[in-house]
Amino acid sequence: MSEKVLCLLEEENLEHVAKGMERFHFRHLPVVDDGKLVGVLSERDFLRASVSDLDPDFALKDANLKHNIFVAEVMTRDPVSVQPDTPLVEAARLLRSKKIGCLPVTSADGTLVGIVTDFDFVGLSLEFLERD
């Protein structure tokens, strides 16, 4: 689980988010309100709110769109999440069965404490596979 998590607010526009996702190569960003998880913005959600780069006026249209659309409009609300004591095997099963790429980790009161991603499980798999 990653405990240092960059979070978004519902009122942020996608222009701001685009720069962060590109810079840090994030594919999932939790959305919080007063520290409580309210949603997740995935790369897929973000792309749904983008202009195709096949459009001849792509750059201008996309910049305008991202300036005028906010996280709350495209995020996934009430995402599947787990608690810190959730067994890894259960978390892996949830990722696979729900076909999602991340699981926010919340305390019992809904406060975000971390995130587990499919990338974390790939790293864990590599550790096991590389053992002698």
For residue range 86-116, list pLDDT tens digits in order.
999 999 999 999 999 999 999 999 999 999 9
CA–CA separation, 83 and 114 (whole Å): 9
CA–CA separation, 122 and 17 (whole Å): 26
- Rounded to 10 degrees, the C-alpha dihedral 69/71/74/75 comes to 180
- Per domain, the residue ranges of the chain are 14-129
Does 67 have pLDDT greater than 70? yes
pTM of the full structure: 0.87
CB atoms within 10 A of CB 34: 8
- H or E stretch at 92: helix 88-98
Lowest-confidence range among 3-7, 27-31, 82-86? Answer: 3-7
Q: Identify the pLDDT of residue 12.
A: 93
CATH entry, 14-129, from 3.40.50.450, 3.10.580.10, 3.40.50.300, 3.65.10.10: 3.10.580.10
Q: Identify the pLDDT of residue 132.
A: 66
